[in-house]
Amino acid sequence: MGIDLVGMEDVWILPAIPFAVFILVSFFGRLIPRNGDFIAVLGMALVVLLVGLVLVDFQGAFHDEVFAPIAGANTYSFDWIDIGDGFFVIEFSTYVDAVTMVMLPVVSFVSLMVLVYSIGYMKGEARYGWYFAALSFFVAAMLLLVISGNLLQLYLAWEGVGLASYLLIGFYWERQSAAEAAKKAFITTRIGDVGLLIGIILLWRVTGTFDIQEIIHAAEEGVFGQTYLTVAMLFLFAGAAGKSAQFPFHVWLPDAMEGPTPVSALIHAATMVVAGVYLVARMLPVYDEVLIARDVVLYVGLITALMAATMGLVATDIKRVLAFSTVSQLGFMFAALGVGALTAAMFHLFTHAFFKSLLFLGSGSVIHATEQQEVGELGGLRKKMPITALTFTIGSLALAGIPVFAGFWSKDEILHDLQHYGPFAAYVILAVTAALTAIYTTRLVLLTFFGKPKNEQAYEHAHESPPIMTGPLVILAVLALVVGFITYQGVGESLGFVGGIGELVYLPHHGPHVFKLDIAFAAVATATAVVGVAIGIMYWWGDARRAIAAQSWAPELHQLLVRRYYLDELYQGVINHVVLGAAAVVAWFDKRVVNETGVDGSTQFVGFLGYRFKFLQTGRIPHYVLGMALGVAALAVVAIGTT
């Protein structure tokens, strides 16, 4: 290939660009016209261009058979920190393979769309420049994450995206709920992150390396004990589940919708939340060695997919419906990974990124126009906002899995693989979830864009968004229509690839596979989606009489779903009663037991020695001394007991 300007070995430059933008805009934004928003957009455009060049180089290397696509290339590395004569080496290393090449276009392109859209959406907001700076920081961390060749670097980037997400969810920090949501997201994912870190340390302990490929080789050669590796991979999965909002960590994502809508489109639909999927996909060869851990991935994915879909049925906030939908779709991806279907998972990740960011941006357009985000206040907007309505509908059809739209192909692939490699029940659960997806998607579209306006004032106020916002919507809508076709061999070849996505992204020991449309299977999937849409139309068309009737038919069930299976309450209760409770107990111990109760006990001890001791007459210092004396005694007991 002719263009060697930027090749795979140069991918380190990708995160460097938005990071430079972040530094520039956050420190000097005030001095630059428009607070430097155009710098962020141009920087991102440059990244997209460079990703294109890398892609070309990747194809070239592929055709020249420099490496098998999945084997990838450890393209660039230097010892960042090497201390203690190799005892502790942190490399900066990049690794590019087909999985990376799925992630890079998604991250860079969706980021560009979101940045452009934000120019319109965030216009006139306070901290406008800071917004673009923080978003650039996020993109830098995310790009670093997907090109990381070793786990420690990945962890750094992982924390970076978490921090960026915290900053952006809490962007409207004047709102108490936004501040709380930011904290909830940060701490929930951090709990998962501790798991990830423990997993990384466990893997390092045996192999002595952080390099992902070396760890995979070690696992395949059976360096690890089976149980040890299972535990390590489960810890790793805890990190993935935290970031990707999988059960039981899913609670933070719906609340994260407190952030600006374009942020939700980028971080909580297309990029950060798929980092967990990416991590498991990256480590999938290792999960293949420990099937118990892989099964856990499958079950967590299934539970999350179904559970989130049911919660999406009753949510009334347009963005929360989409958030539940994201959680559910991520569950699809994990379920696919849980049966070892790398291709299907990455394919769905790819298509989902486009149509879900489209849906979020569309909902942002609605919120921007009406300043309402409860579906109870919307309705009939298709007349006022034709472009938004059309693109949103396209995105919804893709999400619902209607044929030819992108979501159909990837979801079909997942269902197909589950039926072949997974237990039958798993297939049934995901099929039901697919139908539910179609139902809640239809509901959302109908309640927002069809029927009569429920809030006349908001309706009157509504208007189509400016071109700078509808432009990205249209582009993403086109993509939501067509990206699914890359599953076809012919389409892939005409784009310069070896073939369809199945021939590009696969596990070495599974080998590539050429996509063939299984008409019967596709017909079943299509029927499921169509039935779902039909049910949605039946219940929510017009004034949604049937839906309301259904609600009063089983109020407890409805309440259970609205309250999200009471999991949020449960967690809050646990935090309040266990963590803060334990803290209170310890604090109480410090001030009471050491203070009063302990004295009663010690009275007898000291009294035994013949000293006069007065009840409740001692001050604090004696209690401290008592604590120390008891401490020494305890230490001596430990010493004598263990020797």
Partner 1 sequence: MTVDLAHYLAVSGIIFGIGVAIALSKRNVVAVLMGIELMLNASNLAFLAFSRFSGAFQDGTEPLAGHTFVVFVLTVAAAEAAVALAMAVLIYRRRETVDLDRISVLRW
Partner 2 sequence: MTDLLGNDLNLQYELLGPEIALVITAALVLFADAFRRELKIGQSAIPAISILGLVVALLLSLLWIDENKDFARLVTIDNFTTFFRVLFIAVTVVVIIGSHEYIERRVSHLGEFYSLLLLSTVGAMLMAGARDLLTAYLAIEVMSFSLYILVSLAKSDTRSGEASLKYVLLGGVASAMLLYGLSFLYGVGGSTQYTEIAAALSDGTSTLELPLLLGLALIIAGLGFKASAVPFHMWTPDAYEGAPIPITAYLSATSKAATFALLLRWFAGPLLPAIDSWQWMISVLAVLTMVIGNLVALQQSNIKRLLAYSSIGQVGFMLMAIVTISDQTGSALLLHLSGYIITNLAVFMGVIAFYNRTGREEIVAFRGLAQTNPYLALVITAGLFSLAGMPLLAGFLTKFILFQSVVSGGYTWLVVTALLASTVSLYYYLQVIRQMYMYQPEGDASRWRLSPTGYLATGAMLVGVVWVGVYAAPFYTAADRAIAPLFT
Contact footprint for partner 2 (CB under 8 A): 80-84, 87-88, 152, 155-156, 159-160, 163, 170, 173-174, 179, 183, 186-187, 190-191, 194, 197-198, 201-202, 204-205, 579-580, 582-584, 586-587, 590, 594, 620-621, 623-625, 627-628, 630-632, 634-636, 638-640, 642-643
Partner from partner 2, partner 1, none contacting 186, C-beta within 5 to 8 A by type:
partner 2
CB of 164 to partner 2, least distance (A): 12
CB of 639 to partner 1, least distance (A): 16
CB of 199 to partner 2, least distance (A): 11
Closest CA to 414 of 359, 487, 321: 487
CB of 643 to partner 1, least distance (A): 20
Partner from partner 2, partner 1, none contacting 495, C-beta within 5 to 8 A by type:
none
CB of 367 to partner 2, least distance (A): 22
* Distance separating alpha carbons of residues 207 and 153, to the nearest angstrom: 17
Partner from partner 2, partner 1, none contacting 640, C-beta within 5 to 8 A by type:
partner 2
* Distance separating alpha carbons of residues 64 and 79, to the nearest angstrom: 29
Q: Which is nearer to partner 2, 235 or 405 (CB)?
A: 235
Query: Residue 73 — φ and ψ, nearest 5°?
Result: -140, 130
* Distance separating alpha carbons of residues 154 and 283, to the nearest angstrom: 12
Using CA atoms, how far residue 387 sits from 466, 467, 470, in Å, is 10, 10, 7
Q: Which is nearer to partner 2, 26 or 551 (CB)?
A: 26
Closest CA to 122 of 184, 176, 168, 165: 168
Q: Which is nearer to partner 2, 36 or 364 (CB)?
A: 36
CA angle 143, 144, 146 (to 5 degrees): 65
CB of 632 to partner 1, least distance (A): 9
- Kindly state the tokens that stand for 350: 């790819």
- Any alpha helices (H) in 467-544, and if so which ranges? 467-482, 489-494, 519-540
- Any alpha helices (H) in 78-175, and if so which ranges? 98-121, 128-147, 151-169
CB of 594 to partner 1, least distance (A): 10
Q: Which is nearer to partner 2, 36 or 340 (CB)?
A: 36
Bridge partners of residue 150, in order along the sequence: 211
- Kindly state the tokens that stand for 248: 């039981």
Q: Is residue 348 classed as helix, strand or coil in its secondary structure?
A: helix
CB of 269 to partner 1, least distance (A): 46
Identify residues 119-178 at the interface with partner 1 (CB under 8 A): none
Q: Which is nearer to partner 1, 552 or 617 (CB)?
A: 617
Q: Which one of the spans 252-260, 331-339, 502-510, 583-591 is the region binding partner 1 (CB under 8 A)?
A: 583-591
Q: Give Cβ neighbours of residue 558 (< 8 Å, ≥ 6 apart).
A: 314, 551
* Distance separating alpha carbons of residues 331 and 347, to the nearest angstrom: 14
CB of 579 to partner 2, least distance (A): 7
Does 538 sit near partner 1 (CB under 8 A)? Answer: no
Q: Which is nearer to partner 2, 20 or 45 (CB)?
A: 20
Identify residues 584-643 at the interface with partner 1 (CB under 8 A): 587, 590-591, 602, 606, 609, 611-613, 617-623, 625-626, 629
DSSP conformational letter for 332: H
* Distance separating alpha carbons of residues 512 and 530, to the nearest angstrom: 31
The single-letter code of the amino acid at 525 is: A
Identify residues 192-251 at the interface with partner 1 (CB under 8 A): none
Closest CA to 408 of 343, 497, 483: 483
Residues that bind partner 1 (CB under 8 A): 587, 590-591, 602, 606, 609, 611-613, 617-623, 625-626, 629
